[in-house]
Chains A and B, each alone.
Chain A
Amino acid sequence: MYTGPVEGQSIPPAGFDDRPALPLWLLLPTAALMLLTLYLVFDWVSTEATMGIVQRIFYFHVPAAAVSFLACFVGGVSSILYLVTRQEKYDDLSLAANESIVVFESVNIVMGSLWARPVWGIWWTWDARLTSSFVLLFLYAAYLMVRRAAPVESRAGVCAVVCILGMLDVPLIYMSNRLFRTQHPSPVLGGGENSGLAPDMLKTFLVALVTMVLVWWCVVRVRRRVARLDRAVEDLTRRANELVDAGSIRL
């Protein structure tokens, strides 16, 4: 039982660093790239011949999906590292990455739906690509619920299983419109001989992709800080309760 440090010592620190979660070296390039992306998407890039201006949703929709995949990988690897090393920093990173999947996958699905309506005439269809993306969103929503509900001692193990299932869904999503006939268009990048983007579209896409990765990194850093603070509150509350039980303090 923790009965407090001896005379001359103070209460141990809560265990988080106090530097800003979003340093200027990250914030400034992210903001600049966001402005550049908006300029490229809304003014610079040429308009696609078949779908018209609505095709420009592509420059946000696809990077959001790519970032979700990256977050699945980061979340899954850090979950496994936590199970192996039991270091809390990996658990915090895993939580931050996995929660970001729910946000960016929601962005991907909502934007896809808003693109589908004018182009396909429908908001949604249960084809392989859309369904597997929907499953990914729900897997990670389930992860967040399990994390809240599961007892602390079994939480990491249960969450790691959900993460691994999520990671398995990523190649399925990627291959879905290669293996099955889908309403969703065939892959534009890496889809064989007839796929590809015009040079200006490719440049815009790459800038948008880098921007989205930086935005995701900002989100993960802030969420990781919140996870550390949550842990600090839990820790200090536990200490306070132990000191009350030991009669060292009266609240």
Chain B
Amino acid sequence: MMENLHWLFYAYGAGWLLIFGYLFWIGRRERHLRRKVAELHELLNEKWTPKKSK
């Protein structure tokens, strides 16, 4: 009954690794993009000269 226990752990380990690995990867990507958006926003607000309103 218990001789295949290691296959059960391999399978669950692989499953969770794939899901959490993916979540970790997109979490990192989210942080990177947030920084990039903030930088671009700051750059645009800093550098441009607004036109006079008519």
- Name A residues whose Cβ lies closer than 8 Å to a Cβ of B: 3-11, 14, 16, 21, 47, 51-54, 56-57, 60-61, 64, 103-104, 106-107, 110-111, 114-115, 117-118, 215, 218-219, 222-223, 225-226, 229-230, 232-233, 236-237, 239-240, 243, 248-251
Contact = CB atoms under 8 A, between A and B. Distances in A.
B37 to A, nearest CB: 5
Contacts of A10: 45
A249 B37 contact: no
A249 B11 contact: no
Contact of B7 (A4, A5, A7, A54): A54
Interface of B: 1-5, 7-8, 10-12, 14-15, 18-19, 22-23, 26-27, 29-30, 33-34, 36-37, 40-41, 43-45, 47-54
Given A4-B50, A111-B11, A222-B27, A103 B44 contact: no
Contacts of A225: 30
A60 to B, nearest CB: 5
A110 B40 contact: no
A60 B4 CA distance: 16
A21 B30 contact: yes
27 contacts: A3-B51, A5-B50, A6-B51, A7-B52, A11-B44, A52-B2, A52-B3, A54-B5, A57-B7, A60-B15, A107-B19, A110-B11, A110-B14, A115-B11, A218-B23, A219-B19, A222-B27, A222-B30, A225-B30, A226-B26, A226-B30, A233-B37, A236-B40, A237-B40, A240-B40, A240-B44, A243-B47
Count chain B CB atoms within 10 A of each CB in A114, A215, A223, A237 and give the residue with the most: A114
A53 B4 contact: yes
Contacts of B52: 6-7
Contacts of A61: 11
Majority SS of interface residues in chain A?
helix
A36 B37 CA distance: 39
Nearest to A4: B48
A52 B8 CA distance: 10
